[in-house]
Amino acid sequence: MTDEDKKRIPATERVLDHILSEMDAGRLGPGSRVVAARIASDLDLSAAPVREALSVLAGQGILDLLPDRGAVMREMTPKAVRQFWELLAPIGAVGLRLAARAIVDGADTGEITRKFAEIRREVGLEDPVSFLLLLNDWHYAVNRLGGNDFVTEAPSRLGVAYWDRYLVGIIDVPGHVDGYLTNYRRMYEAVMAGDGNGAAAILHFHADWSISLIDEAVASRKPARKSRKRA
């Protein structure tokens, strides 16, 4: 991306992208302090867009704005990640139903077909976050096709790209990629057939499956209880 391209991106979005990059590089994580002045200097921005971006992330529950420490990345527990996916699935289900209805009415399916092809083509990505972001892109395309602006904007407003990164820290996404592909293929086929309820049911199944992977990962990390020996 050229300097001219960067100037076309709103300053607040540049800050949000920068924080994502810092997370991917391992320089920001749960409990890390986000130094606003350093970000402003790195991006050659004033303090205002940095403060705005931090306020956005605080509203999404990604970080806390503390009076004594400034902005601090929130400690994300598996329980919080689990609850996020419990919330996101019903929103995605609405998008699938609306998209299926639009397809029945003759809407152009070109974008969701292209986005699904990208998922299948890039399944070998070494970076699991990039794979999850492709799934996000498909849902964004589905939601746009459905035509409800609130549904389309909801995942972004909730900070799904940040939560994807926390999910990758809990479960083995590459080890379960076949399950992801199977669920999304079934979802794609259902919505393309105009079966919104079927597609929504598959998404709920997928969310339940993802949550079960979180629970299994948490259970496997718990130390086994030692049995007490009787005297």
pLDDT, tens digit, for every residue of 57-84? 888 888 888 887 789 988 878 998 999 9
pLDDT confidence of residue 29: 81
CA nearest neighbour of 69 among 14, 32, 112? 32
The residues spanned by each domain of the chain are 3-73, 78-221
pLDDT confidence of residue 227: 40
CA nearest neighbour of 162 among 217, 80, 95? 80
Q: Which CATH class for the 3-73 domain?
A: mainly alpha
**Beta strand pairing status for 33-34 and 70-73?**
antiparallel
pLDDT, tens digit, for every residue of 92-121? 999 999 999 999 999 999 999 999 999 988
Quick check: do 3-73 and 78-221 share a fold? no
What whole-number distance in Å separates Cα of residue 214 and Cα of residue 18? Answer: 28
| Confidence tier at 204 by pLDDT (50, 70, 90) | very high
pLDDT confidence of residue 226: 43
- Other beta carbons less than 10 A from residue 185's beta carbon: 14
What whole-number distance in Å separates Cα of residue 113 and Cα of residue 108? Answer: 10
pLDDT confidence of residue 169: 87
| CATH number for the segment(s) 78-221 | 1.20.120.530
Q: What secondary structure does DSSP assign to 17-67, as a single string?
A: HHHHHHHHTTSS-TT-EE-HHHHHHHHT--HHHHHHHHHHHHHTTSEEEET
